[in-house]
Structure 1
């Protein structure tokens, strides 16, 4: 399995090669080569009475648990939508490719599926999305990535759902300051993956430090660094009063567990990718429930809303042996956003790629039932600046309970990643 370092380097090289030699060769005229079906314009990805959507996921790599949950939730949305008659008289179809968090496989899968699909309801891995971003802009097929890097903003066809990692980190530190005793003059540790994800989050901690009078003590790690003993030791020696972790679930569990064993009693908060409910069954489970928090773009799968309760029941029925996690929420939300854009495009009688993107630009307050309205009218901004603060709980459905409702810190106002 490739490390994120190798993945990012390879993806960067691929991006440069693609920019020079492999940009889309399809001519993009005004009507997108579209045809009419029952008075509705259609183009790539619409065949007969079927709308084909692509899924570029990770079922066997670093984020295999996430990829499985996201994909199964999206298939559930498709099955239920088709059972209700589809969209615009068309049935939805997902075509799934597992890239295993490998850059070559990710780019190859995009190349294979792009001519066959209307767009992509899932694309895990911001480095891989970045590697084909120029092609996406030329191909004009909507991509909804399961990635929250601020570097993905600005392309009208790549739309981040929810707050980006930098905004999420600002909101996370705001929580530590308002509710966990962190104050002006204190040091805060930040353990982060090298590459797109961690460095996007680091922008947020640096901004918040400047705004709030904090000092950031940085600890860069690799995805292969599973033991956080050295990082905990360095942060304890530095005297930090709180820690942000922008890494994977395994690193978060190690950091919290090592800190607890060493009686280093400071709050730790992670980005939304830094937790999996399976961790609660490990030795780190008690420490995670005591001193760990997670910033999330939406309410959790166990939220007390009718939409959440229905999704839990439907998902359990479809996948009785699989655990619930927030990947289910991410997958369902992305599929629902794509579905909403398709419905609006149908009403405008334009199911071409350009028509679907134009329709998405009119959606300014979409809520799939998980508490945070999403605004897609500005491609240069994420669809929300709010974050929900969650806490691990073995008693909660999906392993997470809400400790602070959706809100955006004052420090997010006027902030841009730059």
Structure 2
């Protein structure tokens, strides 16, 4: 489906769902906010005993493996928070819906949960968040911390991305290849990317980086349902590219790297944060992935020996002994921790309403929960960081990734205006 048609379909689904449940959106004006015995103002999703947060995830679609670990990490955070006494005298409850990376299910899930929750600690899928952005900004005003990093989400005081946006992350990825002298001025680089918000935002980053470095980008647009990258590899090999960027899911990354290796197409490949899952290291693509594939992200990997990842890995394995470790664990736990910090500040200000939550987030200008990068949330129009770590698959490391370059912001990433 073409990007415009895709977004039109999302908009249509949103319109139908919103019309059918329009009554849910008027609740903010029907009773107003209340105060508890301690003088704390409360509103949607907050009772005397609980704070309810929504989780819109993907456990059955293109990001199923990551969605599961992101969600379980957030459940772990909630359990730990409640065991320590909760926040503002209240326990944290997560209401979870699996949208399977389906636009209609994502919009319907949002419409169902929004009246019942204070906000959302997870919402996977940039296109789906973008589809309800008008409602979030216009009438709902519930803080959403998405597992999505598109620059199109910047500027909203209520949708706050944790980490570098896809365009900046891609610029840092290109900079890594340049710094390692894997590519040079005059070279062509390939970019395989999902149609829609995620991939096309990443493409803006690769084009900007290419312009700054004297490179040429050879584009290969794909759909989330495309799993065989044979045609894309053939086209890029024919074009003579010296490296390949991939802004897609783990399945596409595995196919891309595996097909290239089988065909003798030996160039470095580097993906955005969602273009890897450790399960790939159990496939025939493993040798190629560990040889010359890299991943850019805004948190340390779960297998890093640092105190933060090591502690989380131990706690996660204790809670979910049958499940493996991946970067979704860090991403989910980090997003939930940010939400928790916001709730604590809002409680201190005696305002657990949606308005109070939004104000509290703006006061957090230097937040690092031990996962490699300090985030600044004081400006909704700016990404919380311009830094990215570069990682490489490694069979010997829990979670399958090791850091090969620490958190760095390329000069091009610093000069770039997010969103292009």
Partner of 2:112: 112
Query: Is the CA contact 1:7–1:103 (under 8 Å) kept in the aligned structure 2?
Result: no
Query: Is the CA contact 1:7–1:102 (under 8 Å) kept in the aligned structure 2?
Result: no
1:14 paired with 2:13, answer yes
**Distance in 2 between residues matched to 1:16 and 1:197, nearest whole Å:** 22
1:51-70 alignment, distance < 5 Å: 51-70=51-70
Q: 4+ runs of 1 displaced by more than 4 Å?
A: 2-9, 15-24
| Cα separation, partners in 2 of 1:110 and 1:19, compared to 1, 3 Å | closer
**Distance in 1 between residues matched to 2:341 and 2:71, nearest whole Å:** 18
1:125 paired with 2:106, answer no
Partner of 1:246: 247
| Cα separation, partners in 2 of 1:20 and 1:271, compared to 1, 3 Å | same
Q: Name whichever of 279-288 and 303-312 sits farther off.
A: 303-312
Query: Is the CA contact 1:171–1:387 (under 8 Å) kept in the aligned structure 2?
Result: yes
Partner of 1:190: 191
RMSD between superposed Cα atoms in Å? 2.0
**Distance in 2 between residues matched to 1:3 and 1:52, nearest whole Å:** 37
3-state SS of the aligned residue for 2:399? helix
3-state SS of the aligned residue for 1:47? coil
TM-score of the superposed pair, with normalisation by structure 2: 0.95
3-state SS of the aligned residue for 1:92? strand
Shift of 1:9: 4.6
3-state SS of the aligned residue for 1:413? helix
Query: Is the CA contact 2:296–2:390 (under 8 Å) kept in the aligned structure 1?
Result: yes
**Distance in 2 between residues matched to 1:301 and 1:269, nearest whole Å:** 19
1:301 paired with 2:302, answer yes
**Distance in 1 between residues matched to 2:105 and 2:85, nearest whole Å:** 34
Partner of 2:84: 84
Q: Name whichever of 158-167 and 260-269 sits farther off.
A: 260-269
Query: Is the CA contact 1:303–1:370 (under 8 Å) kept in the aligned structure 2?
Result: no
**Distance in 2 between residues matched to 1:237 and 1:75, nearest whole Å:** 47
Query: Is the CA contact 1:4–1:223 (under 8 Å) kept in the aligned structure 2?
Result: no
| Cα separation, partners in 2 of 1:19 and 1:113, compared to 1, 3 Å | closer
**Distance in 2 between residues matched to 1:306 and 1:32, nearest whole Å:** 44
Partner of 2:136: 136
**Distance in 2 between residues matched to 1:144 and 1:26, nearest whole Å:** 23
TM-score of the superposed pair, with normalisation by structure 1: 0.95
Q: Deviations for 1:146-182, whole angstroms, at most 9, x for unmatched residues?
A: 0111111111000011001100000000000011421
Query: Mind listing any 5+ residue stretches in structure 1 that lack a counterpart?
Result: none
1:13-412 alignment, distance < 5 Å: 13-15=12-14, 25-26=25-26, 33-137=33-137, 138-412=139-413
Shift of 1:12: 3.3
| Cα separation, partners in 2 of 1:78 and 1:33, compared to 1, 3 Å | same
Q: Number of matched residues?
A: 416
Q: Deviations for 1:34-81, whole angstroms, at most 9, x for unmatched residues?
A: 333411111111112111111111111111111110110001000001
3-state SS of the aligned residue for 1:46? coil
**Distance in 1 between residues matched to 2:328 and 2:170, nearest whole Å:** 19
Query: Is the CA contact 2:153–2:161 (under 8 Å) kept in the aligned structure 1?
Result: yes
Query: Is the CA contact 2:151–2:166 (under 8 Å) kept in the aligned structure 1?
Result: yes
Shift of 1:10: 2.3
| Cα separation, partners in 2 of 1:169 and 1:307, compared to 1, 3 Å | same
